[in-house]
Amino acid sequence: MTQIHIGSVIQNALVFNFKNWREQPMPVDNLLQNVSDLFTLLQARAIEHVLVGGIALLQYIEGRNTEDIDLIITLPSLKKLPEIQITSQDIYFARGTFDQLQIDFWLTRNPLFEKVRRRYVTTQRFVEQAIPCATVAGLLLLKLYA
């Protein structure tokens, strides 16, 4: 399987989503760089995170589109990222933006998210870099939760 370019997946999902055509054009100029910068920032600050959701699923199946990145992260770690503008938050989830990039955070206050973060992780190679990613079993647990 070829390496997945996360930025291209998100960019294509936004550009080719018919719902977005009725509204103002989605700004996607910096999206590829935003994705790369996000994972570089997480690595530079040694912030533990696990990639889940649609992008993680692409490591195991083909043809999934998604317009955002989903990460399991601790709340204290999220607070170490002032570059991310938090747009909503509840006890188990937060949503934020990193320039043009939307990120959904699955907070480890939820015991299942913490369990996936600790036990169901493997490192997967993407074009941007190697990223901690949920295993198939971890993704299935999260899907059953949803």
3-state secondary structure 114-132: HHHHHHCEEEEEECCCEEE
Mean pLDDT per block of 10 residues along the chain (146 residues) reads 78 68 60 90 95 90 82 96 96 94 96 97 92 96 90
| pTM for the whole structure | 0.88
User: Identity (one letter) of the amino acid at 48?
Assistant: E
The span from the CA of 57 to the CA of 63, in Å, is 10
Show Cβ contacts of residue 51 under 8 Å, excluding neighbours closer than 6 positions.
Answer: 69, 70, 71, 124, 131, 132, 133, 134
User: Identity (one letter) of the amino acid at 124?
Assistant: Q
Pick the CATH number of 6-145 from 2.60.40, 3.40.50, 3.30.460, 3.30.70: 3.30.460
- Are the beta carbons of 45 and 74 closer than 8 angstroms? no
